[in-house]
Amino acid sequence: MTNDTTAKRAAFRALHETGCFIIPNPWDLGGVRLFEKLGFKAIASTSAGYAWSRGKDDGQLTRDEVLSHFRDLSQATDLPVNGDFEAGFADEPEGVGANVLLAVDTGVAGISIEDRTGDDLYPIPLAIERVKAARKAIDSSGHNVVLVGRTEGVLIGRSNVKEATDRLVAYAEAGADCLYAPGVTDLPPIRAMVTAVAPRPVNVLLLGSTMKVSDLAAAGVRRVSIGSGLARIARSALEQASRLLIESGRLST
């Protein structure tokens, strides 16, 4: 393992330029090793998965816990790491910018900043300024880190696909390198998002069993992430096996 941060960042940006790649989300170093072995080209953290592994709910991690996790992931692998930095752990743009600089220092190749505050979204003017602050911080660092502009509106039921697309366009104009609206699952609006922010790449969250990476690739999606999906599957399997153990005194085969 060489763990050349500059090379990882260059490789990560190149992945966004052509084709479509899957970016799985480990929550521990065991998962990192598995994804390396399976041949994935990059990984992304999962705020929910890591929170669960720490005995917390999603959204309860502190900024410093997340930064430490970014550093652990980045130092453990030659794969580029995209850091799920939630809402940047600050409301005002100045705070977002300062925290993004701290995230850059952990060695991640990408940083996602979302527009969710509690159960709602930041007003669009403030959300745009927050993306601009993140962009300015990355540029001032001199490091080749991909900035992902992420809107949570569809996922939390606070906006429709059209509103989410408008936000992605605004975030692209504010300096985001990649755009992401988790919760959008139908191909026609996904194609519309790809067109609206072109030539910047779009990330789509794979949800459920009916979405297929091949269909998303054909729609022009550049990267497909899993979010907390694998962590949820693992937790569900653990719970089911544990219930069987309690109820019947045996393990499933």
Does the model's pTM come out above 0.85? yes
DSSP string covering 220-231, please?
Answer: T--EEE-TTHHH
Report strand pairing: 21-23 vs 110-114: unpaired
Q: Is 237 exposed, middle or buried (0-12, 13-18, 19+ CB in 10 A)?
A: exposed
Stretch (H or E) spanning 180:
strand 178-180
**Domain residue ranges of the chain, discontinuous segments joined by +:** 5-248
Tens place of pLDDT for every residue, the chain, 253 residues? 678 999 999 999 999 999 999 999 999 999 999 999 999 999 999 999 999 999 999 999 999 999 999 999 999 999 999 999 999 999 999 999 999 999 999 999 999 999 999 999 999 999 999 999 999 999 999 999 999 999 999 999 999 999 999 999 999 999 999 999 999 999 999 999 999 999 999 999 999 889 999 999 999 999 999 999 999 999 999 999 999 999 999 987 6
C-alpha to C-alpha distance for 227 and 157, rounded to whole angstroms: 18
d(CA 89, CA 100): 9
pLDDT given for residue 2 in this prediction: 76
* Chosen CATH of 5-248 out of 3.40.50.300, 3.40.190.170, 3.40.50.10860, 3.20.20.60: 3.20.20.60
